[in-house]
Amino acid sequence: MRIINSIFRNNNGNRTGGAIAIHGYSDSNITAIISNCIFSNNIAVQGGAISNSGTLSVLNINIINCDFTNNNADYGSAIAGLVNGSFDIKSSSFENNLANIYGAIYFTDNTSANIKYSTFIDNNGKYQLFSDSPNYVNADYNWWGSNNINNKIYGLKPNNYFVMKIASTVANNKLVLFKFMENKVLFCIKWY
């Protein structure tokens, strides 16, 4: 399944997956590619925007360059990985999502994930990322909305994450407000 250049707004998933719910009940491998999509104002109990679950199948979900904003769920306001899932999330942004209990992203029951070059800003809930299977999740090279990632992630600790250095200087009689990561921008943060 491929979903590319799409917008999912104001959907209600009743139980799982406010915009997309991927369920696998057969003995097969399922791969979903979700690229360049916008998910906003979607609601579900688990996975405000996207959820997956599979009892017999292996679900591989690749999420690339997607924006998750203002989604709402009890568990995983943006994404919930439930049972036997595998996620590869790259270059995506998670902003202002509301988890009533756990995380913008919520992984449970041996869900594996690789999350890189993504931003997590002002998501409300107990954690930005929750995993009860820490040996299966790699969340290195992300921006967590703060240089201090304590209490933002549960169940694992990234070894490498981005920090922002802010400095002000005067050059040519003009105030230079900041220098971001010493001119080495490896991914884009939204500027307002």
CA–CA separation, 67 and 86 (whole Å)? 19
Q: What is the mean pLDDT of residues 166-189?
A: 48
Vertex 76, ends 62 and 126: CA angle to 5°?
A: 135
Tokens of 145: 């909305």
Short-list 12, 132, 84, 147, CA closest to 105: 132
User: How many helices (DSSP H) and strands (DSSP E) are in the chain?
Assistant: 0, 21
d(CA 129, CA 115) in angstroms, rounded, equals 10
> What does the mean pLDDT of the chain come to?
82
Does pLDDT of 150 surpass 90? no
Tokens describing residue 171: 């050059």
CB contact set of 171 (below 8 Å; sequence gap of 6+): none
Residue 181 scores a pLDDT above 50: no
pLDDT at 158 over 50: yes
Q: What residues have CB less than 8 Å from 172, skipping those under 6 apart? A: none
Handedness of CA 68, 11, 63, 74 (dihedral sign): positive
Q: Which residue has the higher pLDDT, 187 or 46?
A: 46
Question: pLDDT grade, residue 114 (50/70/90)?
Answer: very high
What does pTM read for this prediction? 0.83
Query: Which pLDDT belongs to residue 180?
Result: 42
Instruction: Note the pLDDT tens digit of each residue in 56-100.
Output: 556 789 999 999 999 999 999 999 998 777 899 999 999 999 999
Predicted confidence (pLDDT) at residue 157 exceeds the cutoff of 90: no
Burial class (CB in 10 A: 0-12, 13-18, 19+), 26: exposed
4: helix, coil or strand? Answer: strand
The predicted pLDDT at position 36 comes to 97
pLDDT recorded at residue 66: 97
Range with the poorest average pLDDT among 35-39, 49-53, 134-138, 187-191: 187-191
Q: How confident is the model at residue 169 (pLDDT cuts 50, 70, 90)?
A: low
Task: Give the pair of three-digit tokens for residue 124.
Answer: 């409300």
**Between 181 and 164, residue with greater pLDDT:** 164
Distance CA 1, CA 24 (A): 13
Task: Report which of 139, 26, 16 is spatially closest to residue 76, judged by C-alpha positions.
Answer: 16
Q: 37 pLDDT exceeds 60?
A: yes
Which residues, in sequence order, are bridge partners of residue 176?
Answer: 169
Average pLDDT over residues 3-18: 94
Write the single-letter amino acid at 69: T
> Where are the domains positioned within the chain?
2-163
pLDDT (average), residues 36-63:
88
Rounded to the nearest 5°, which phi and psi values hold at 21?
Answer: -120, 120
pLDDT for the residue 173: 62
